[in-house]
Chains A and B, each alone.
Chain A
Amino acid sequence: MANQSLSEQLDKIVDALIARPRGAVPGRETKVGAKLQALAQIATQLRDLPGEHFKARLKLDLERRTSMASKPAVATEVRQTAVPYVCVTNAAAAIGFYKSVFGATEVMRLVGPDKKIGHAEIRIGNSSIYLSDEFPDHGVLSPQTLGGSPVKMSLSVDDVDAVAARAVAAGAKEVRPIEDQFYGERSGQFADPFGYVWNISTVKEEMSGAEMQKRMDAMMEGSPEATSQETHSSTVAPIPPGFHTITPYLIVPGAAAMIDFVKQAFGGEELFRVNIPGTDKIMHAQVRIGDSMLELADVTEQYPGRPCGMHLYVLDTDGLYERAIKAGATSVRTPEDTPYGDRSAIVTDAFGNSWFIATHVKDVQF
């Protein structure tokens, strides 16, 4: 048991060493044998040992800067500023559906002891979507429980007909058939088995907002040439500039006020707005926040408004949180560091939508 006593003696030395301020002259210590002395000397040098994961974290950070991380591209891409966060009754099944129908890839999922998915991330094309199962105790409810969702998912694809056919085959229901639209898209709407309606479209003709307005006004007047779809350009980008595959679409009572709020609270930039003819209600508007697009409209009989959740990745959660509160948002949770590596806060706007504001501050291995 000689080693037992040596390890005890050594630990006393280490304890004294750690307790001593750096640079302090060691006090008079009990004389120890040569072996312990050698180990104590190593222990002294180890006082500066870097933190357990520091070297690896710094390397990862440097790799990110050279945008050459050897990890899968999806894990190291720049995070999207605004991400739809959807709640479904069976998140695992929904992930499977989105994978097989929309070609989604699963980035991660966190499963609780009850086997429910607390948080999952998928990517469709160049866009992220966050998902979770229902957690009624925390107010996290799915469209099936709420009786529908006012938020539509807008999906830009290369071949709308093919994707729609796949969706229907996998259990989606047609809400609006696929048609060529006056604004240069061919699109239709489909409700997935989890209660979300997807507006699936392929851009056939690029045009400005002013041109869209002109065509719509002409269409409303019944001018036949205005709706002509004959001049299709062959060089259009299937995903319009500035858009990702998925764009959150907020339908609220008072979209103009919502746009003002988004501008004040989150620095949104209004890019496009068209009113329902003869009213001051917004038929369709586009606002850019960071690198993401948000679409908005006033509620109509066909599309009643219901609150939804939006997730934002920003550089300064605390700053944006203060700004949102000043713009009239209500605090749900003040900024705090979370175990999953985000600094995050939650506010609600005047329309009951939740905004999850976050800054990714630390990579955490799950």
Chain B
Amino acid sequence: MKDRSQDAGERRLVEAAQKDPSRFGELYENNFERVYAYIARRVGNREEAQDLTAEVFHQALANLARFEWRGLPFAAWLLRIASNAIADRWKSKAREHGSPTSDEPLSHDIDMEDVEQRAKLFRLVTTLPDDQRRVIEMRFAHEKSIREIAKELGRTGGAIKQLQFRGLETLRDQLVASSAKKSSGKLASKPGGTNG
């Protein structure tokens, strides 16, 4: 029943956004990390992943009226747009370089569980305490050295390493907690189920 009520909620959001595009923001918030994580897994380059993510949401907004509700989650539609955008990008790159598209990552190479896990992780980063979040973002998203971060934040290198450690610890704890919750939810929704 839980899934069905989620479906109904999403369907209402999509229909509201189709009538009034200003409501698209909620669909964006619900799907940003998933779309980004999927693209990042396939292209393996942050700049390109960001560029393609922007392209996907712009396309989705422009074509929202054409989306028809057929019971599939809205995310599936977004990921299809993403998949096409990636394929187009590879084709045009191949044309530019005059080489075949042999290095195109295939979509079946992508483990969707892994994508979901990363999307959850990216969402959790935004909920970290401010000082931990800044260090994690500077270190990983901007690939800055401990020394650079220490200088920018006016802290010692040791303090930055501690914040990095604590940030990763917090993320691990929250991932563990959320998967435990999910497992117990699965068990609860499947009376007698043994494979939850």
A-side residues, CB < 8 A to B, are 3-4, 6-8, 10-11, 14, 18, 22-23, 38-39, 42-43, 45-52, 54-55, 58-59, 61-63, 65-66, 68
Which chain B residues (118-175) contact chain A, with CB distance < 8 Å? Answer: 118, 121-122, 125, 136-143, 146, 158, 161-162, 164-165, 168-169, 171-172, 175
Cα separation A46 to B50 with both chains bound (whole Å)? 15
For A51, give its contact among B20, B25, B50 (CB under 8 Å).
B50
Inter-subunit contact A11/B41 (CB<8 Å): no
Which chain B residues (94-112) contact chain A, with CB distance < 8 Å? Answer: none
Cα separation A65 to B140 with both chains bound (whole Å)? 30
Q: A10-B165, A42-B121 are in contact. Are A50 and B46 (CB under 8 A)?
A: yes
A43 contact set on B, CB distance < 8 A: 140, 168
Interchain residue pairs A-B with the least CB separation, the first 4 = A68-B22, A7-B165, A48-B40, A66-B21
Interface residue tally of chain B, by bracket? 35 or more
Q: Is B28 an interface position by the 8 A CB rule? A: yes
Q: Is B181 an interface position by the 8 A CB rule? A: no
| Dominant secondary structure of chain B at its interface with chain A | helix
Q: Is B49 an interface position by the 8 A CB rule? A: yes
Inter-subunit contact B172/A65 (CB<8 Å): no
B165 contact set on A, CB distance < 8 A: 3, 6-7, 10-11, 39
How many A-B pairs fall under 8 Å by CB?
Answer: 110
Inter-subunit contact A63/B121 (CB<8 Å): no
Inter-subunit contact B140/A22 (CB<8 Å): no
Q: A11-B161, A39-B168, A39-B169 are in contact. Are A65 and B141 (CB under 8 A)?
A: no
| Dominant secondary structure of chain A at its interface with chain B | helix
Cα separation A190 to B29 with both chains bound (whole Å)? 52
Cα separation A55 to B137 with both chains bound (whole Å)? 13
Query: Which among B53-61, B74-82, B188-196 touches the partner chain?
Result: B53-61
Inter-subunit contact A49/B141 (CB<8 Å): yes
> A320 CB to closest chain B CB, in angstroms?
26
> B192 CB to closest chain A CB, in angstroms?
32
Cα separation A40 to B196 with both chains bound (whole Å)? 27
Cα separation A50 to B41 with both chains bound (whole Å)? 12
For B164, give its contact among A4, A7, A22, A63 (CB under 8 Å).
A7
Chain B residue with Cβ nearest A11: B161
Q: A11-B161, A23-B44, A62-B28 are in contact. Are A68 and B21 (CB under 8 A)?
A: yes
Cα separation A50 to B47 with both chains bound (whole Å)? 9
Inter-subunit contact A49/B44 (CB<8 Å): no
Cα separation A65 to B60 with both chains bound (whole Å)? 12
Chain B residue with Cβ nearest A65: B61
B41 contact set on A, CB distance < 8 A: 48
A39 contact set on B, CB distance < 8 A: 165, 168-169, 172
For A45, give its contact among B28, B117, B158, B164 (CB under 8 Å).
B117
A38 contact set on B, CB distance < 8 A: 172
Interchain residue pairs with CB less than 8 A apart (7): A18-B139, A48-B118, A50-B50, A51-B50, A62-B24, A62-B25, A65-B21
Inter-subunit contact B137/A52 (CB<8 Å): yes
Cα separation A88 to B40 with both chains bound (whole Å)? 51
Inter-subunit contact B58/A62 (CB<8 Å): yes
Chain A residue with Cβ nearest B169: A39
> B178 CB to closest chain A CB, in angstroms?
13
Inter-subunit contact B164/A49 (CB<8 Å): no
Chain B residue with Cβ nearest A39: B168
13 additional contacts (CB under 8 A) given A7-B165, A50-B49, A62-B28:
A3-B162, A11-B161, A18-B139, A42-B121, A42-B171, A42-B175, A45-B118, A46-B121, A50-B46, A52-B138, A52-B142, A58-B32, A61-B58
Chain A residue with Cβ nearest B139: A14
Cα separation A55 to B40 with both chains bound (whole Å)? 14
For A61, give its contact among B46, B54, B125 (CB under 8 Å).
B54
B53 contact set on A, CB distance < 8 A: 50, 54, 58
Cα separation A111 to B49 with both chains bound (whole Å)? 38
Cα separation A42 to B161 with both chains bound (whole Å)? 16
